[in-house]
């Protein structure tokens, strides 16, 4: 069936192709708008709530122990800042790590504190939605931190050259918002 536009007849297939072309040209803009909105959300947006789980701690001696952990994230509106409270315990080891982080672009910075050993220092690193890689440092101590979040699951890896612990690997699951 043809439609008349002025003195020209436009075949139905041509009208359909034109509509498809208009729709196709709008899709990348929609996808780009969604990506822009996701990029506008801060890297901590998906962390809000309480998480708990288990893992393995490797002590400086090389001994390994199962560890139980709980972490609470208080995320600023927009996801560009977060307060973290991570508490872990094994049969012979315990740590309580708090951190306050801010994101600026893909960079993060902030401060951390470990209550049981009275340590504190700075954190710097990179973050995107779903992944944080950072270095926590103070005089005489440094640890590499990696947090990977997928939905309601998170893996945490802490690596250190400290005498007390050398590595912590934890798998967490969100238990509340």
CA distance 24 to 14: 15
Contacts of 99 (CB under 8 A, 6+ apart): 82, 83, 84, 86, 110, 111, 112, 113, 123, 136
Residue 1 has what pLDDT?
54
Q: What is the CA radius of gyration of the chain?
A: 25
Residue 163 has what pLDDT?
77
Domain spans in the chain, listed from the N-terminal domain onward? 2-40, 45-176
CA distance 56 to 50: 20
**Block residue for tokens 């238990």:** 175
What architecture (CATH level 2) is domain 45-176? Beta Barrel (2.40)
Q: What global pTM score does this model have?
A: 0.74
Is the separation of the CB atoms in 52 and 172 below 8 Å?
A: yes
Mean pLDDT of 87-99: 92
Selected residue with higher pLDDT from 95 and 30: 95
45-80 tens-digit pLDDT: 899 999 999 999 998 889 999 999 999 999 999 999
The yes-or-no verdict on residue 139 having pLDDT over 90 is no
Mean pLDDT of 21-38: 37
Residue 127 has what pLDDT?
94
């Amino acid at each position: 069936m043809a439609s008349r536009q002025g003195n020209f007849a436009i075949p139905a297939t041509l009208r359909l192709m034109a509509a498809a072309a208009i729709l196709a040209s709008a899709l990348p803009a929609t996808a780009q708008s969604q990506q822009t909105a996701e990029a506008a959300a801060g890297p901590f947006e998906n962390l809000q709530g309480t998480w708990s789980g288990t893992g393995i701690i490797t002590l400086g001696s090389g001994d390994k122990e199962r560890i139980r952990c709980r972490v609470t994230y208080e995320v600023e509106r927009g996801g560009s800042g977060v307060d973290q409270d991570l508490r872990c315990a094994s049969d012979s080891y315990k740590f309580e790590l708090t951190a306050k982080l801010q994101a600026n672009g893909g960079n993060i910075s902030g401060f951390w504190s470990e209550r049981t050993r009275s340590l504190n220092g700075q954190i710097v690193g990179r973050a995107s939605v779903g992944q944080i890689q950072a270095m926590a440092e103070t005089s005489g101590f440094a640890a590499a931190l990696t947090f990977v979040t997928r939905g309601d699951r998170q893996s945490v890896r802490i690596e250190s050259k400290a005498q007390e612990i050398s590595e912590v690997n934890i798998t967490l699951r969100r238990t509340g918002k």
